[in-house]
Amino acid sequence: MISDNALDAALDYLDDQATYLYICSSEPTDYSEASSDYMLGYKAGPTLSEPTDGATGRKLTVSAITDGVVDSAGTANYVAITSGSELLAVCALDTPRIIGTETVFTLTSFDIEISD
């Protein structure tokens, strides 16, 4: 068992450090892959909630994106959240998104959960 305070500390770090959200074609394993190699678009300054109870542990919610910037065409399969140079979290999209000639992308809100 890990206490809620310990899990919240990890989620608070994610909330405090997050500067960019990237939509990616493949699952990134480091900052360079998220911000360059697999990046199809980005949102500066994503909004994350405070930690709260989740289904299996503690979670935070990433607010919906309505004004993400499209950088290139492809199929978005993952979302990556980064700080200035650190890959903080990677989440698979429930449904892959085809990114074409549009200049803005949107995403519905989603949760990041740490099981306890």
Residue with tokens 């306890």: 116
Residue 27, classified by CB atoms within 10 Å of its CB into exposed (0-12), middle (13-18) or buried (19+), is: middle
Q: Which pTM does this prediction carry?
A: 0.94
Strands (E), the chain: 20-24, 39-44, 52-53, 57-62, 65-70, 74-82, 87-99, 104-107, 110-115
3-state secondary structure of 80: strand
Dump pLDDT digits (tens) for 60-102: 999 999 999 999 999 999 999 999 899 999 999 999 999 998 8
pLDDT at site 76:
97
Segments making up each domain of the chain, as ranges: 4-108
Residue type, 53: D
Dump pLDDT digits (tens) for 23-54: 999 999 999 999 999 999 999 999 999 999 99
Q: Is 45 left (phi over 0), alpha (psi -120 to 50) or beta?
A: left
